[in-house]
Amino acid sequence: MTEAAQKKTPLYDEHVKRGAKMVPFAGWLMPVQYTSIVEEHQAVRKNVGMFDISHMGQLIIDGNEARDWLNTMLTNNIDKLEVGQGQYTFLLNERGGIIDDLIAYRIGDAKFLLVVNASCTDEDFAWLDRHRPSNIRLGDRSAHFGGVAIQGPRVSELFVNLPARNHIVDLELDEMPISMARTGYTGEDGVEVFFSKGDAVKFWNAVLEQGRDLGIKPCGLGARDTLRLEMCYPLNGSDLSPERNPIEAGLGFFVDLTKPNFIGRDVLLKTKENGPREKLVPFKMIDKGPPPRPHYSVFANGERIGEVTSGTSSPSLNWGVGMAYINAPYAKVGAKIDIEIRGQKFPATIEKKPLYKKS
């Protein structure tokens, strides 16, 4: 896709004004960094940082039967949501493979907001629409909305009355109607805020102004990736794909197999029963050397056992970390594996989630 064909979020001009380096991502031109990935990463770990997430998709599902129907489309149990509450969940294909990972919020008695990956918005919509009974309405409001994630331990100094964890509330700030959810992708306390496209610039600048004394920084996709990887949060397209199911990815917690029926359930039951062939595991390099990267091969005792899906030099640990799919018998915490980097093998240890814990 050429640069001209990439979509721009309502905050595009603000990013450019602040000197962000813009890169194509999932069909959008997004800031990868403003000053430095490490600086932005540390701002989120120590103070607070703000990310443009306007590229993410927002689907609305509405109708008396919406709850029961969504429970057949998504892996987690929607019945557990009270109004104003959200949950992390998966949209699977018939083979149990992951189409998308998303957060489903119950925003009314029979009304739901799905916040989905930018690269999957159209596909998710088409998949849901194809399976939708005629009495349930499905809408894509992505084009009319903007969003930001404000993340970091000092976020509670920025807003009074934060919603409870995983809850979403509608409120008004500076005459802007917004929805604020206590969710995020960084492992820090934080909120994700959605607003009408026309309010995006005003909201963005108001938060940066308000947060100045707290050391707030605008942050790019680079820091978003290192922050989520330290927490072992998966990235769809890297760690998740239509060829992988949530059990293999170690995310069975977000699948309710006691539900009588949802797309992909049979395959997941079988995977659970027989055990997955491969598992996604976090790992940490043993020596300070080159950082692991996606697609590097993983070895054990000289035999190729898998492939890295995410890898970087963790800014918090200042050390190489990653996640890899490896043959299940090798997937034991504490076990030693080798990562092949430019023809040379470097030892690593399989770790528990998360790779980074707050001291």
- Give the span between the Cα atoms of 279 and 247, in whole angstroms: 8
38 is a contact residue toward another protein (CB under 8 A)? yes
Whether residue 354 has a cis bond before it, omega within 30° of 0: yes
Query: Can you tell me which of 17, 212, 342, 358 binds another protein, judged by CB under 8 A?
Result: 342
Q: Which stretch binds another protein (CB under 8 A): 238-246, 260-268, 286-294, 300-308?
A: 286-294
What are the structure tokens assigned to 216, written together? 């707030």
What are the structure tokens assigned to 184, written together? 């995020």
186 is a contact residue toward another protein (CB under 8 A)? no
What are the structure tokens assigned to 176, written together? 């802007």
Measured from the CB of residue 153, what is the shortest distance to another protein in angstroms? 22
Q: Which stretch binds another protein (CB under 8 A): 122-130, 161-169, 275-283, 290-298?
A: 290-298
8 Å CB contact between 203 and 192: no
Q: Which stretch binds another protein (CB under 8 A): 55-63, 79-87, 297-305, 313-321?
A: 313-321
Other residues' Cβ atoms within 10 Å of the Cβ of residue 173: 17
What are the structure tokens assigned to 164, written together? 């409870």
Query: Can you tell me which of 134, 301, 318, 359 binds another protein, judged by CB under 8 A?
Result: 318
Measured from the CB of residue 296, what is the shortest distance to another protein in angstroms? 10
- Give the span between the Cα atoms of 143 and 166, in whole angstroms: 24
Query: Can you tell me which of 49, 63, 222, 250 binds another protein, judged by CB under 8 A?
Result: 222
**Nearer to another protein (CB atom), residue 147 or residue 291:** 291
Residue-wise DSSP of 193-223: EEEEGGGHHHHHHHHHHHTGGGT-EEE-HHH
For the stretch 195-216, what's the b/e string if a residue is b when 16 or more beta carbons lie within 10 angstroms of its beta carbon?
Answer: bebebbeebbeebeeebeebeb
Q: Which stretch binds another protein (CB under 8 A): 50-58, 96-104, 158-166, 310-318?
A: 310-318
Measured from the CB of residue 289, what is the shortest distance to another protein in angstroms? 7
32 is a contact residue toward another protein (CB under 8 A)? yes
Task: Find the length of the chain.
Answer: 359
347 is a contact residue toward another protein (CB under 8 A)? no
8 Å CB contact between 86 and 103: yes
Query: Can you tell me which of 290, 307, 327, 328 binds another protein, judged by CB under 8 A?
Result: 290
Measured from the CB of residue 288, what is the shortest distance to another protein in angstroms? 8
Phi, psi of 343 (to 5 degrees): 85, -5
8 Å CB contact between 203 and 12: no
328 is a contact residue toward another protein (CB under 8 A)? no
Measured from the CB of residue 191, what is the shortest distance to another protein in angstroms? 25
Phi, psi of 245 (to 5 degrees): -110, 165
**Nearer to another protein (CB atom), residue 293 or residue 336:** 293
21 is a contact residue toward another protein (CB under 8 A)? yes
Q: 126: which residues sit within 8 A by CB, 6+ positions away?
A: none
Site for another protein, rule CB under 8 A: 21, 32-33, 35-38, 222, 226, 289-291, 293, 312-313, 315, 318, 342
